[in-house]
Amino acid sequence: MRILHTSDWHLGRSLHQVSLIEAQRAFLDHLVEVVRSEQVDVVVVAGDVYDRAIPPLDAVSLFRQVLTQLADLQIPLIMISGNHDSPRRLGVTADLIERVGIHLRTDMADLARPIILHDSHGPVAFYGLPYLEPNQVGAELQTEANHQAVLTVAMNKVRADLADQPAGTRSVVVAHAFVISAATGKAETSKSERDITAGGVAHVAASVFDGMDYVALGHLHRCQQVSDRIRYSGSPLAYSFSEAGHPKAIWLVDLAADATVTARKILCPVPRPLHELTGRLEDLLTDAAFSAYEGSWLHVTLTDPGRPLMAMDRLRRRFPHTLDISFAPDGSADEGATSYQARVRDRSDHEVTVDFVTHVTHVPATPAEEALLHEGIEAVRTTAAQREAAH
């Protein structure tokens, strides 16, 4: 069976206030063409279809368009909700559109309700695990409120159902989570992913999916392989400058009769390249070496000793697609010269709040203070998730 694995469309997202809807349209046109040209049997979307719980109308229209195109091709589509999606909104028409081969899994009640597809070698059971917010589902699943625990219970339900399927049934799990490699103990992240820390730990071990023939993951935005049978497709577009230089792709996966997996990347179209430039303003404006970046989306770090006047306006005369500027003066030891964004880069919400307490009190936070801060962050995260779910 030939599976096209994609995820993290984030329809409706912008990049530094620049709309990406046309770039997303170009990607979805590309996806449909790959489905045709590569004779794909099923398309899998591993969550974060939309960028927010209540998406803009142009994003909803684009979503409807690609659903219609795939339905016209009679290609099954299996899709789960991610941490950016509103499960109730995304799944509101699930029962109806399933009749045309569009299978949405947004409800925890459907964890062990597989979509059974057939090829010439027999059945393949697809299990869709929507994003499971631990603080919301832990009690219902009768387990601890952390990602490892809730996914372990969910996968136990999947394995129990798979055991009742006919002998030889192959299995595919579609999930949205932060999964780390057993070999390296890590995964490649980007700055455009929303933090999903809960219970102090955001990630889960790849071993939670042991026994599955293929696992199609969403959430991390870099296309990567966790193991021979577990992959992230990543986002189809770069949604932050941390992704500059990382090719965007989708996975074309062949699941053989004996459950052997072979996969290859198909690169996504690039609407406009992203680059980060560093230097003094006059050098950037005059040096011919920077000519190649005049058509790129840019984040520019200026190293002038003082902040140049009208720096953005002047940069945009040569680089019209400059989106962001930061300042890092040459030889400066002043921490204040570094942008706040740079100082908090790659740090969790908990780490940022603890550092803030230390900064304003000039005394390191105590363990009790750290625990209180963590409790507050989790309460805010849970309230926000409940509000999104209610909408």
d(CA 145, CA 156): 16
Whole-number pLDDT of residue 337 = 43
Give exposure, 71-84, as e/b (b: 16+ Cβ within 10 Å): beeebbbbbbbbbb
Measured CA distances, 195 to 142, 201, 205 (Å): 24, 11, 17
What dotted CATH number matches 2-267?
3.60.21.10
Condensed to tens digits (0 to 9), the pLDDT of residues 46-83 reads: 999 999 999 999 999 999 999 999 999 999 999 999 99
Q: What is the pLDDT of residue 198?
A: 46
Q: Where are the domains of the chain?
A: 2-267, 274-344, 349-390
Please return the burial class of 348, using the count of CB atoms within 10 Å of its CB with bins 0-12, 13-18 and 19+: middle
Token couple for 214: 């293929």
CB atoms within 10 A of CB 253: 23
Model confidence over 266-325: pLDDT tens digits?
Answer: 999 999 999 999 999 999 999 999 999 999 999 999 999 999 999 999 999 999 999 999
Helix orientation angle between 21-37 and 57-72, rounded to the nearest 10 degrees: 10
Average pLDDT, 10 consecutive residues per value, the chain (391 residues): 98 95 98 98 97 95 96 96 91 83 92 96 97 90 91 97 97 96 75 64 87 97 95 96 92 97 96 95 96 97 94 97 94 53 63 71 68 75 61 55
Q: CA of 307: how far to CAs of 68, 303, 336, 337, 389, in Å?
A: 51, 9, 13, 10, 44
Euclidean distance between CA atoms 300 and 319, whole angstroms: 10
| Residues contacting residue 292 through CB under 8 Å, at least 6 positions apart | none
Has this prediction a pTM greater than 0.85? no
